């Protein structure tokens, strides 16, 4: 998954929240829309990498995945994938609703995102992996397919 990129191509996945390489810099654009899209994408990537660095301070390793939509997914653990547009993070919390289903969660403040994801990570780590995989929590593959596949 972390194969070396072709020269001039940005890697699509990076582990551990390192600083972005020069390959992630937005290319100059002649249109405002493209420039805004590139700035939005780099903001999402920056926030995702900031999150992975903070999670690493808690002993949690996470993967960063750029999505075709310009959003960025941070895969924290099986069933715990946060997606950011650069402004806020969204994920499905393993905490159960009154109906016993996972709860959608969203937060813009980085400190709150970190605290809640660390808490959710601990909940998932305390469960048998077979229970996590058999739950309604989305896996990274679900997020990637939803972002890349257009239903007909």
pLDDT at res. 144: 85
Q: Which H or E run contains 14?
A: strand 13-15
The torsion angles phi and psi of 65, rounded to 5 degrees, stand at: -135, 115
Question: Which residues, at least 6 apart from 43, have a Cβ–Cβ distance to it below 8 Å?
Answer: 86, 87
Q: Which whole-number Å values give the CA distances from 151 to 68, 100, 148, in the listed order?
A: 15, 29, 10
* Count of Cβ atoms closer than 10 Å to residue 119 Cβ: 12
Sign of CA dihedral 5, 46, 68, 70: negative
pLDDT at res. 25: 41
Tell the burial category of 149 from Cβ atoms under 10 Å away from its Cβ (0-12, 13-18, 19+).
exposed
Q: What is the pLDDT along the chain (152 residues), one digit of tens a residue?
A: 444 444 444 444 444 444 333 334 444 444 455 566 666 658 999 999 999 999 999 999 999 999 989 999 999 999 999 999 999 999 999 988 888 888 999 999 999 999 999 999 999 999 999 988 888 898 888 888 888 765 55
Q: Are 45 and 67 in contact (CB under 8 A)?
A: no
pLDDT at res. 18: 40
pLDDT at res. 78: 94
pLDDT at res. 46: 96
């Amino acid at each position: 998954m972390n194969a070396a990129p072709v020269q001039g191509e940005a890697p699509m996945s990076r582990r551990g929240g390192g600083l972005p390489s020069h390959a992630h810099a937005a290319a100059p654009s002649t249109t405002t829309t493209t420039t805004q899209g590139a700035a939005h994408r780099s903001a999402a990537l920056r926030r995702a990498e900031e999150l992975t660095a903070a999670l690493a301070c808690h002993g949690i390793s996470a993967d960063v995945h750029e999505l075709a939509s310009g959003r960025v997914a941070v895969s924290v653990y099986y069933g715990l994938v946060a997606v950011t547009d650069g402004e806020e993070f969204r994920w499905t919390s393993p905490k159960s609703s009154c109906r016993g289903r996972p709860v959608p969660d969203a937060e813009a403040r980085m400190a709150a995102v970190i605290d809640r994801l660390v808490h959710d990570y601990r909940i998932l780590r305390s469960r048998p992996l077979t229970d996590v995989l058999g739950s309604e929590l989305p896996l990274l593959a679900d997020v990637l397919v939803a972002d890349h596949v257009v239903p007909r």
